[in-house]
């Protein structure tokens, strides 16, 4: 599979590793290696829209952060052809805003080749503006493969 850059006006296309390098270099995307089914935390900050997650077994995911009027909409997609349906992938995002207000989303991961840009995901975690500090937001992430 060839990986294409989702940014409008950019014609980059290349291998997975060149693609990750491209996102890191041109869009200051952060790269993180993780294990499926393990919870870890990432820091979302106001200057970064994309974060690359590369699993130890070589699945590539993007955490996409969109700025909206209401706050930050955060979702996870898997970069693979949409017709590939196995293994089934799910993700969980959670955030403790304060002692009383906890957010949590658990849903299926959409697959995309990014050839039409960043997908308009139907599912996302909405972090209300009042909790989107410029210093960043600590988000817990877990990506499950073959969930039982
Ligand atoms: Zn690009």
Number of structural domains in the chain: 1
Domain that holds residue 117: 32-145
Using the mean position of ligand 1's atoms as its centre, give its distance from the Cα of residue 11 in Å: 6
Q: Has residue 17 been placed in a domain?
A: no
- The stretch 129-139 carries a mean pLDDT of 88
Using the mean position of ligand 1's atoms as its centre, give its distance from the Cα of residue 112 in Å: 16
Residues 102-131: pLDDT tens digits?
999 999 999 999 888 888 878 999 999 999
Beta-carbon neighbours within 5 Å of ion ligand 1 = 5, 7, 10, 12
Q: Has residue 18 been placed in a domain?
A: no
Confidence at residue 148, expressed as pLDDT on a 0 to 100 scale: 60
147 pLDDT tier (thresholds 50, 70, 90): low
Confidence at residue 136, expressed as pLDDT on a 0 to 100 scale: 86
Q: Has residue 25 been placed in a domain?
A: no
Confidence at residue 64, expressed as pLDDT on a 0 to 100 scale: 93
Using the mean position of ligand 1's atoms as its centre, give its distance from the Cα of residue 97 in Å: 33
Using the mean position of ligand 1's atoms as its centre, give its distance from the Cα of residue 103 in Å: 32
- The stretch 1-7 carries a mean pLDDT of 90
Torsion angle of the four alpha carbons 68, 133, 139, 15, in this order, in degrees rounded to the nearest 10:
60
Using the mean position of ligand 1's atoms as its centre, give its distance from the Cα of residue 58 in Å: 21
Which residues are 42's β-sheet partners? Answer: 139
**Strands ordered across the beta sheet of 102-108:** 40-44, 137-145, 89-96, 102-108
Phi, psi of 46 (to 5 degrees): -65, -20
- The stretch 9-33 carries a mean pLDDT of 91
CATH of the domain at 91: 2.60.210.10
Which residues are 126's β-sheet partners? Answer: 73
Q: Has residue 6 been placed in a domain?
A: no
Q: What is the 3-state secondary structure (H, E, C) of 1-66?
A: CCEECCCCCCCCEECHHHHHHHHHHHHCCEEEEECCCCCEEEEECCCCCEEEEEECCCCEEEEEEE
Confidence at residue 127, expressed as pLDDT on a 0 to 100 scale: 95
Q: Has residue 125 been placed in a domain?
A: yes
**pTM: predicted TM-score of the whole model, two decimal places:** 0.91
Q: Has residue 21 been placed in a domain?
A: no
Using the mean position of ligand 1's atoms as its centre, give its distance from the Cα of residue 73 in Å: 22
């Amino acid at each position: 599979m060839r990986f294409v850059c989702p940014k409008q006006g950019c014609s980059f296309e290349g291998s997975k590793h060149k693609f990750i390098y491209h996102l890191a270099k041109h869009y200051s995307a952060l790269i993180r290696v993780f294990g499926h089914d393990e919870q870890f935390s990432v820091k979302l900050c106001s200057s970064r829209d994309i974060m690359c997650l590369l699993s130890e077994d070589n699945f590539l995911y993007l955490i996409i952060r969109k700025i909206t009027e209401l706050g930050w909409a955060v979702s996870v997609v898997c970069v693979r052809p949409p017709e590939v349906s196995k293994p089934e992938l799910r993700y969980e995002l959670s955030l403790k805003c304060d002692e009383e207000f906890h957010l949590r989303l658990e849903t299926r991961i959409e697959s995309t080749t990014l050839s039409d840009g960043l997908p308009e995901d139907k599912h996302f975690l909405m972090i209300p503006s009042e909790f989107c500090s410029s210093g960043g937001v600590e988000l817990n992430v877990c990506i499950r493969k073959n969930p039982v």
